[in-house]
Amino acid sequence: MTLHRRPQGLLLDFGGVIFETRKRPEGPLELAHHVRALLEGGGYEFGVDTLMTSMAAGRAALRHWKHASSRRPEPTELSHHEVVGEFLLADLPEGARRLAIAEAAELLATVSVTLSDHIVRPGIVELLEFCRDEAIPVGIVSNAHAGLCHRRLLDEHGLADHFGVQVYSDEVGIRKPNPRMIELATEALGLTPAETWYVGDTQDRDVVAGRRAGVGAMVLTRSKHTDNPPFAVPYVADAVFDDPRGLLDTLAAAKPGPPLRIAPSAAPALRPALLIDHGGVISTSKPTPAALDAFAGDIAGRLGQLHDDAPSPATIRAAIDRARERHGNNKRAWLSQFRSGDIETIPELRPHDFWADVDAALGSRFSAWFFAEATDLMVRFARAKTARTLRPGIGELFAACRRRGLGIVVVSNTVSGRVVRSECARHGLDADVAAFVCSDEIGARKPSPTIFHEALTIAQADPDRTWFLGDKPINDADGARAAGITNRVLIRGGSTDDAALDRALIEGSATHVVDSPTELIDLIAAAITPGKERVS
C-alpha cells in the first residue's frame, strides 16, 4: 500500500485540512454593511437588503461555477475583478461595480473572514511539527479567491513558517483539479508529485487533481464536502481520515523510502473629483538599501530550507537589481512606443514576469517557487525598496475636498497597489479615499488613457470639473490632458526638476504648478462658481 512508504514531501489543502470553516449567521449582514460603507465612500447609496440579495445570488452562482469548473481538465481561476464585478455585485450599476472592483483583492479577503470563522483542525499543529522534525517539506495547494486572507490567517496562527511554498489559485491563475497546481508546488519544493502525498477534503477537486498529477498517495480529511461530490468522480482516495490526527498517525508509522508512483443602469449625473498620484505627491520616498538587503536575505533563507544549492543573499540582491534595471529599460521603451503611436496602452510589469527575470539571473533553478510566491514577493519588495513620508498639506487638501463634496481617487503607477493602500492607511488617509486605481491591478500605466478613464468612471467624475494632482509632466499632465481632464496640477518636490515642471506649464500640458498641496485648496475654491459647484 502506498501509505506504508513515507513521502519526501507533503502537500495540504487549506480549507477542510488546515482549517475548518464554520458559517457565521451574522456574516452576510455584516458584509453588506461593509460593502455599503465602501460604496458610500464613493458617493453610491444602496440598501443593505439590496446588497445582501446581490451577494447571496453571486455566492450561489459561484458555487455552480466552481462545480462546473471541476469537470474541466485544466480549469483556470477567476480574477478578483471577475469574482466581485461579475458575480458578487453584478447587479449594481457600472460606477459602483467599478469602485468595488478597484478594491477587489482586499474586499474578497474581508468576505472570507466575515462569512466564516476559521478554526485550526485537530492535529494540524502536531502534524506540522512532526514534518519539521523529520525534515519533510510541506506546501499548500488551495483553491482560493483570497489567497491574501489565507496567508494572513496562517500568520495570525503562527503557522506560516511551516510551509515551504503556498500555491493559491487566485495568485497563479489556475485552480484544481488542474494538475499544474500540484506540479507547481512539488517543483517549488524540489520534488516530483510521485514523491509527495496530497491531502485534501473534496473528491471532485482534490482527488481528481491528485490523480491527474500522479501523487504518491491521495488522502482526504473529512469535511462537510467530502461525502457529497456534485457529480460522480472516477477516482478514489487511498485513505480518508476524520481529521489530520489520523494522517499524522499514518505518516509517523510509514517507513522512509521512495514512494510508489501513481445589464447596466442609467449613468448618474457627473460631479467634480480629485484624482491624485501617490508616489511623489501624497508621499515622498527615499531608497532603503538595507531593507532591500534584508529582503534578499529572507528569500535566500527560504530557498535554503528547500535547496542545498540555494543562492546567497548577495547573489539574490544582484539578481533583483538586474531585474529592476531591465524593468526600467522596458518602461522607457514602452513609453517611447506609446508616444510614437506604436502601442495604445503601456503595460505594467507583472509580478510573475519580474520574478521570472530574477529567477533567470539565478540560473532558472527556482522557477516554480518564484512563480507561486511572485504576488506576495512583489508586495514585500515594494515595501522594502523605499521608505515613504507623508507630504505636508495632504491631510488638509483631503479634508477640503471632503467638505466640498469632491470624491478622491488615487491613481498610481506602482508594482503593488496593496502597498499604496497600506501606506495611505498608515497615514490615516484611507477613510477619505473612495478608490485606488493602480497600474498593477488594471494592467495599464500612466500616461495610458485607460487608467485615467477608469478613475473617472469610478468617481462618476465630470472631466471638466475634475482636478488631477501629479508630479510628472508626461505621466500625469499629458495623460490627464489626453483623458480630457481640464484642471491638471503639477507639484514641486517630487521626482521632476522645477525646470521641467515650468516647461509643462508654458506648453499647456499642466494648467498649474504648485509648491504645496494646500495651494490646490485655494485653486479649487476660486474655480467653483457660487451656487453651481462648477469648476472651470
Domains, in order of start, for the chain: 2-20+118-256 (3.40.50.1000), 23-115 (no CATH), 271-286+387-527 (3.40.50.1000), 296-367 (no CATH)
Q: Which three cell numbers stand for residue 211?
A: 490523480
What pLDDT does residue 258 have? 60
Summarize pLDDT for 358-372 with one digit per residue, the tens: 999 999 999 999 999
3 state DSSP class of 406: coil
Q: Is 381 exposed, middle or buried (0-12, 13-18, 19+ CB in 10 A)?
A: buried
Residues 330-347, buried b or exposed e (16+ Cβ, 10 A)? ebeebbeebeeeeeeebb
- What kind and span of H or E run contains 250? helix 244-253
Q: What is the pLDDT of residues 291-336, one digit of tens each?
A: 999 999 999 999 999 999 999 999 999 999 999 999 999 999 999 9
Tell me: the pLDDT tens digits for 213-258? Answer: 999 999 999 999 999 999 999 999 999 999 999 999 999 999 886 6
Tens-place pLDDT, residues 449-466: 999 999 999 999 999 999
pLDDT digits (tens, 9 = 90+) for 369-400: 999 999 999 999 999 999 999 999 999 999 99
* Average confidence score pLDDT of the chain: 95
Q: What is the dihedral of CA 240, 242, 247, 252, to 10 degrees?
A: -120
pTM: 0.87
**What is d(CA 156, CA 527) in angstroms, rounded to the nearest whole number?**
50
Phi, psi of 64 (to 5 degrees): -65, -40
